[in-house]
Structure 1
């Protein structure tokens, strides 16, 4: 994948900077995106219209095989050992970086705002003009996905749906036990109490079978489900809402997907049943508003309208509310699970290639929570929803 970095070229020209400099490992999404190289330890990427890497000798062979870089250098090319003996580790590194920049005719650089302060101070001491940018120029470029990136997200979403099916299967197969040590109404699967932790493990194993992994997920039941970011713990119970929110990352491409479904094993109370219908309506309203030229705020407002018209609070109607619709409608997904654009009160104009979640929900500790989330890409004439997973509240 060769991203279009013309906006970065224009940004550097406007700043009068010779290049854009990143120092991080490839878990940093800006590093991964610009360099096209995957390494577990920090390395330098200089973009000056082309991509130039400065890596350790350990990574040199692999880096030279990467498609993106125009040049690859290693510390040994700049007499690293001699500099280390004369100046010590930190200053030796600073001097090598300064020489690396000078070799490419670069005297001034712009960096991401997360650029390490110590490295930045060291480069300034070597005469490099260095400025951190906070506009998120690379973030904005990354937000508009290429067709290849869109396919990466769609592939991760396919694996995600396999994992969601496994979670729903466990809940469906469970029976309601009234005489366990965990109390009445707990779910039991194959003789063991069905817990959030057990469902999470099954989700993780299913994702691994399909080339994906995750650091954490959400399987939250009852009052836990009333907190949108509570990961959930302990036994799952009958007649209470169970929010399952899975956001895996493809192990090869490093792109994320994201999806949420809400289940009830048994009979939901009237409030949860009403919330579910409203949330389906709110999600439909969001998708009706999702198109190029609309703003993320437009999409968010469409969701708030549905909930407020039904008498439920939102952060738009009451910024201090702790119940009702208490988060934004969605976010961008790509190399990060949360990135631009935003479907929120601050959401800007949407463009073809923006990949976003749509995830309305309602929450109250008295009743639990309900959230439904799909993932889609904005297209030239609307959107394409990647999500092909049914929405059924009651699990039989």
Structure 2
């Protein structure tokens, strides 16, 4: 293609493969790193793209319901562990249920998160081992459609059996933050303002963000990100993004609180921004105790 159009230089994103870049340079093609994301027109989704993301989001919700049902059906043992039949319920078992459900919807997922107890205090921890009653279990599912290539993204936090008072308070703070953020969504609202509202709500309820013993605690990530042909794309819903959201943007709204030794809570939905509000692409119950 470069030869056909007599091109002598290309702009590439920072994640471009170095081996291909070397081959281009050997063929006297200049390779320049472009800091801004390529194809900025991808930010605004057409109707068929919104439909494609919605289909993936529906698969994510189906997998979420299957995972929650599996956890809810487990028996609480004397030591707090959970059993399904004769098997101890583990993160790996729930992840398998999620991935099998996604395959039934012609979707696949990598890095699915099923993180229980203290492991959930790390928002990127995939989770492993036995799950226990009375502890947070963070379920983060982000499937990609094998047909369209578009992604979906959803997170719920659940607790098998009664939740400790502190966990309930933490969960309600995150839920209130997300509700406040969703309420203000519309074309023209600044992305940074959406993040700030969520942070302010959680702080007003007594949940501080900072560093304890060298570990970040509290609301330690951005509110959300764009979803499309990549699971993380523009626009970012972060304190650094002073640009306004626009109709046609598809973004996640996923506030969370994380504390070492206790665990984390995150609630996430993927929505399409409209002129005067937003559209929930696929609703799913938000309930801590199951």
TM superposition score category, shorter chain reference: over 0.9
Is 1:373 the counterpart of 2:274? The answer is no
Return the match for 2:75 from 165, 175, 182: 175
Deviates more, 1:239-248 or 1:123-132: 123-132
Change (3 A) 1:314 1:387: farther
Return the match for 2:154 from 259, 264, 272: 259
Corresponding residue of 2:62: 162
Alpha-carbon deviation of 1:105? 3.9
Corresponding residue of 1:221: 116
Deviations 1:41-86 (A, max 9, x none): xxxxxxxxxxxxxxxxxxxxxxxxxxxxxxxxxxxxxxxxxxxxxx
Alpha carbon RMSD of aligned pairs, Å? 2.0
Alignment check: 8 A CA contact 2:81 2:132 kept: yes
**Larger Cα-atom Rg:** 1
Map 1:205-244 onto structure 2 (within 5 A).
Answer: 205-244=100-139
Corresponding residue of 2:33: 132
Report the count of equivalent residues.
288
Corresponding residue of 1:101: 2
Higher fraction of helix: 1
CA distance in 2, matches of 1:394, 1:152: 32
Is 1:268 the counterpart of 2:268? The answer is no
Corresponding residue of 1:360: 255
Is 1:144 the counterpart of 2:44? The answer is yes
CA distance in 2, matches of 1:261, 1:243: 6
Is 1:336 the counterpart of 2:197? The answer is no
Deviations 1:94-120 (A, max 9, x none): xxxxxx434324344333344444544
CA distance in 2, matches of 1:214, 1:148: 22
- Structure 2 unmatched ranges of 5 or more: none
SS at match of 2:217: coil
Alignment check: 8 A CA contact 1:314 1:326 kept: yes
Alignment check: 8 A CA contact 1:289 1:298 kept: no
Return the match for 1:390 from 270, 285, 289: 285
Deviations 1:227-277 (A, max 9, x none): 111111111111111111111111111111111111111111111101111
Deviations 1:144-172 (A, max 9, x none): 21111111110001111111111011111
Deviations 1:14-61 (A, max 9, x none): xxxxxxxxxxxxxxxxxxxxxxxxxxxxxxxxxxxxxxxxxxxxxxxx
Is 1:112 the counterpart of 2:20? The answer is no
Is 1:296 the counterpart of 2:191? The answer is yes
Deviations 1:367-391 (A, max 9, x none): 3221111110111222111131111
Alignment check: 8 A CA contact 2:120 2:263 kept: yes
Corresponding residue of 1:194: 89
SS at match of 1:391: coil
TM-score normalised per structure 1? 0.69
Change (3 A) 1:103 1:288: same
TM-score normalised per structure 2? 0.92
SS at match of 1:356: strand
Larger relative contact order (CA 8 Å, sep ≥ 6): 2
Change (3 A) 1:127 1:284: same
Alpha-carbon deviation of 1:313? 1.2
Alignment check: 8 A CA contact 2:13 2:36 kept: no
Change (3 A) 1:121 1:263: closer
CA distance in 2, matches of 1:125, 1:234: 49
Alignment check: 8 A CA contact 2:252 2:268 kept: yes
CA distance in 2, matches of 1:323, 1:118: 39
CA distance in 2, matches of 1:201, 1:369: 22
Alignment check: 8 A CA contact 2:253 2:269 kept: yes
- Structure 1 unmatched ranges of 5 or more: 1-99, 179-183
CA distance in 2, matches of 1:129, 1:200: 45
Change (3 A) 1:220 1:102: closer
